[in-house]
Amino acid sequence: MIPFNRLGLVFKIFASFIYPRSFRAVFSSVLQKVPKSGAVLDIGSGTGILSRFAYDIRKDLLYTMIDPAAGMLRFAPGFGRKVIGLAESLPFRRGFFEALFIGDAFHHFGKPQKAIEEITRVLKPKGLLVVFEIDPGAVVGALITWGERIFREPAHFYRPRHLAGILAENGFECTISHYGWRYAIIAEYNGFRSP
């Protein structure tokens, strides 16, 4: 397993460089749709880089960052609440959040379907989901997938359409944006799952 608990400082220094400016522009426009003082959750937040980007745009939002590695959260920003926990068992009440962010973390979830069930539970109807991920169909993405399997990570990498399809089955309307060997899914939760 990758020792994330010991890599907080490294991620704090370098994580912002993995998000292209074009994605940050899309992320910024999504944030404008979140109601004033809305609660947002950064799942698998690590050092909270997506929350940092969001805070620069929307200081009025109520930020929560959740990650299983205390050593990562130790380097997360102080403007939000920090919670040690897993995506598969989010310790929040139903329909609490207006928006959820998952940056380069979905592939680390041990039980992706359980994580999606939890996501739909804590997200309000019409709430927004932003997923930034690695495409295993790209050459660099395939190498990263291989490397993470060597380190015995869950390595649940999905091609963009596949993950968007899974999210659609769970009540999300999705838009995919491509960024070389990475992609983003911007989704709105319609409050119910497909039969």
Domains (range + CATH), the chain: 1-9+21-30+37-119+141-157 (3.40.50.150), 161-195 (no CATH)
Which residue, among 27, 36, 29, 40, has the nearest Cα to 127 in the 3D structure?
40
For 24, counting Cβ atoms within 10 Å of its Cβ (0-12 exposed, 13-18 middle, 19+ buried), the class is middle
Q: pLDDT digit of tens for each residue in the chain (195 aa)?
A: 544 554 444 455 456 657 889 999 999 999 999 999 999 999 999 999 999 999 999 999 999 999 999 988 998 999 999 999 999 999 999 999 999 999 999 999 999 999 999 999 999 999 999 999 999 999 998 998 888 887 777 789 999 999 999 999 999 999 999 999 999 999 999 976 554
**Cβ neighbours of 54 (radius 10 Å):** 25
pLDDT number for residue 154: 79
Integer Cα distance of 154 and 17 in angstroms: 24
Q: One-letter amino acid identity for 21?
A: R
pLDDT number for residue 148: 81
Helix axes 160-169, 112-122, angle to 10 degrees: 50
